[in-house]
Amino acid sequence: MNWMNHRISGYLLILLAATFWGTLGVFYKYLNQYSNLSPIEIVFWRALFAAFMTFIILMIWRRRDVSIQKSSISLFLAIGIIGIAGFYISYIYAITTIGIGIASVLLYSAPIWVALFGFGFQGESMTPQKVIALILALAGIILIAGKQSLSQLTLGSFGLIAGLASGLGYAAYILFNKKASESGYSTWTVNAYGLGIGSLVLLIFQDFSSLSNTLSEPRTAMILVLLGIVPTLGGGLAFYAGLQRIPAVNASIVATFEPVVAITLGWLVFSEQLDSSQIIGVAMILSAVVLIQLPGSKFREVFNYSKAGKG
């Protein structure tokens, strides 16, 4: 019975993490529409607050995880520049351009990118499982883009490219996470330095004259803090705790609940709509994600190092 309760609590924690991550689009879109912040400013504050809180936790409870080796500096720079700054920028522009629901689904193209990376650069075979998953994902993307292909959304549009780029950025974060874990670093260390370096990179693009004004607006400041706590730090903590109780492949499949939450919140809060063909496209992409995470896939191997530190 205790074993069963342990597993049930694991699944509930993964669902909680997916729910936290699913709120990210609401934070982004609300701040983009109802504050004076630009998308670049929003993701800067998100990374900065999350990095600050993560380092506080390290200094108080996990001081052994603060130090890194000089030989690993380039790896952490890659995590911060590509896996945090690049990922954050592309994802917020996808959300503000094509909506919360579609952007969250395109983010889940990450497993497809991981499989392609393994095939193109690591000599892995392209199994029937991977081929079917890739075809499903491509067909799903075409269906999502298809209805508006002559208006605001085309296959070459900025929003769709940003959505796919967010998946690529997250895939890079996954692979860098695995490399850091193999080098002996904990998820906490990767998260802290990745967010810290990412916030420094994002600082380069800020209008310094307006940074101080942001925190002088109580409502905006409170929402930015919540953005750093709920989807960023809270989602990672819940997922990490759940991952200790259930297998990584089970967790990865349950985590596909995130786009469902995002689509639902997009509809409830911002009245975003998906037509029937786009719903089919969403289902195809999520099916591809589940398929490619089944035994024998590259993504299944690296997933254990990914979402526990998702930024």
Residue 92: what pLDDT?
93
- Higher confidence at residue 126 or residue 45? 45
pLDDT at 155: 44
C-alpha distances in angstroms, 7 versus 11, 154, 244, 249?
6, 43, 9, 14
Distance CA 28, CA 92 (A): 6
Tens-place pLDDT, residues 261-302? 888 888 888 888 777 877 887 788 778 777 766 665 555 555
What pLDDT shows up at residue 150?
A: 40
Number of CB atoms found within 10 A of residue 200's CB: 17
pLDDT at residue 124, as a whole number: 62
pLDDT 10s digits, 232-242 = 888 888 887 88
pLDDT band at 56 (very low <50, low <70, confident <90, very high): very high
Please tell me which of 157-161, 202-206, 263-267 the model is most confident about, judged by mean pLDDT: 202-206
The tokens for 113 are: 């990118």
Give pLDDT, residue 143.
Answer: 74
pLDDT above 50 for 44: yes
For a pLDDT cut of 90, what percent of the chain falls above it? 23
State mean pLDDT over 1-16.
76
**Predicted TM-score (pTM) of this structure:** 0.81
Mean pLDDT of the region 148-164: 64
pLDDT above 70 coverage of the chain, percent: 83
Provide the pLDDT for residue 52: 93
User: What is the dihedral sign for C-alpha 195, 196, 198, 202?
Assistant: positive
Residue 301 is predicted with a pLDDT of 53
- Distance between CA atoms of 286 and 267, rounded to whole angstroms? 19
DSSP secondary structure letters along the chain? -HHHHHHHHHHHHHHHHHHHHHTHHHHHHHHHHHSS--HHHHHHHHHHHHHHHHHHHHHHH-GGGS---GGGHHHHHHIIIIIIIIHHHHHHHHHHHH-HHHHHHHHTTHHHHHHHHHHHHS-----HHHHHHHHHHHHHHHHHHHTTTTTT--TTSHHHHHHHHHHHHHHHHHHHHHHHHHTT--HHHHHHHHHHHHHHHHHTTS-HHHHHHHHTSHHHHHHHHHHIIIIIIIHHHHHHHHHTTS-HHHHHHHTTHHHHHHHHHHHHHH-----HHHHHHHHHHHHHHHHHTSTT-HHHHHHTTTGGG--
Which position has the token pair 């919360």?
Answer: 100
**For the residues 167-193, what does the mean pLDDT come to?**
85
- Rounded to the nearest integer, the mean pLDDT of the chain is 81
Q: What is the DSSP letter of 72?
A: G
Average pLDDT of span 6-31: 88
pLDDT at 73: 92
Residues 103, 165: contact at Cβ < 8 Å? no
User: What CA–CA distance (Å, rounded) separates 11 from 16?
Assistant: 9
Assign 249 a pLDDT band (cuts: 50, 70, 90). Answer: low
pLDDT on residue 121: 61
Neighbours of 1 (CB within 10 A): 5
CA distance 295 to 54: 33
Query: Is the pLDDT at 154 greater than 60, yes or no?
Result: no
Model confidence over 86-141: pLDDT tens digits?
Answer: 999 999 999 988 888 888 888 877 777 777 776 666 666 667 777 787 788 778 77
| Residue 302 pLDDT | 55
Average pLDDT over residues 15-25: 90
Give residue 149's pLDDT band: very low, low, confident or very high (50, 70, 90): very low
